[in-house]
Amino acid sequence: EFSVEPEIPEGAFTTTATLREFIDAHNASLPALLSADDIKALLEEYNATLPSQMPLGASVDETYASYEQLPEEFQRIENGTKHTATAMKACIKEYNATLPAPVKTSGSRDALLEQLAIINPDLVAQEAQKSSPLKVSGTKADLIQAVKSVNPAAVFADELLDAWRENTEGKVLVTRQQLSTALNIQKALLEHPTAGKLLTHPSRAVEVSYFG
């Protein structure tokens, strides 16, 4: 008995190229994710709106200039008391500690998203709802699994052929190419003026069984 290679239905995925073509089309249909550069720009834009830290100054005069710009409640040195650099810097540091800290603008995309969540949790929540693009790299088996994740009904030639090879039940496997060759041989012999008569002769049952 023979088991003939199954026909691959139209639309089945046959090659790595067809898998990648589907994945590329799927990814192109998805709403774009914020890139690391996009997120970094949003973080930098936020940081630019924050009040600047008051500089401590490299000299007593610079420190005094900063101290003079502090809100009154942070100018804690009493009038008539010597304004030492140490005392003024302590006041400046106290003021700076009340200012909102800038968010970090370096790191991986995930790290930047964490920073964005601090200042714009709604946007990050929207981003989390977006589907991630499928990977277009990896082995053929990896690509098949990627396609299955979004198209469970997809048919794959590799799986059909593997199932055919594994479920032989003792039958002889015949590929489509072998079947085509055999049918061409049969046709040629049956159409041969001499051989054809012999192969269809009622007294030659054995030959007829092979080629009929």
- Residue-wise pLDDT for 160-207, tens only, equals 888 888 876 778 777 778 777 877 877 777 777 776 666 666 666 565
Averaged over 147-172, what is the pLDDT? 87
In a domain, 75, yes or no: yes
- Structural domain contains residue 206: yes
Give the residue-averaged pLDDT of 105-122: 96
Q: Of 81, 98, 115, which one is at a domain's C-terminal end?
A: 98
Tell me the pLDDT band of 209, cut-offs 50, 70 and 90: low
Q: Is residue 141 part of a domain?
A: no
Q: Flag whether pLDDT at 88 surpasses 60.
A: yes
Please indicate, yes or no, if residue 205 is contained in any of the structural domains: yes
**24: confidence class by pLDDT, cuts 50, 70, 90:** very high
Report pTM.
0.56
122 assigned to some structural domain? no
* Per-residue pLDDT tens over the stretch 35-58: 999 999 999 999 999 999 999 999
pLDDT for the residue 184: 81
Whether 83 is covered by a domain: the verdict is: yes
Partners of 156 in the beta sheet?
Answer: 13
- pLDDT at position 212, please? 54
Query: CB of 146 within 8 A of CB of 74?
Result: no
Give the structural domain span for 197.
181-211
* Residue 64 resides in a domain: yes
Q: How many domains does the chain have?
A: 2
Angle, helices 85-98/60-68, rounded to nearest 10 degrees: 40
Residue 107 lies in a domain: no
Runs of H (alpha helix) within the chain: 16-29, 36-48, 60-68, 85-98, 109-119, 121-129, 140-150, 157-166, 176-191, 195-199, 205-211
Q: Is 89 a residue whose pLDDT tops 80?
A: yes
Q: Spell out a b/e string for 55-94, using b for 16 or more CB atoms within 10 Å of the CB, else e.
A: eebeeeeebeebbeebeeebbeeeeeeebebeebeebbee
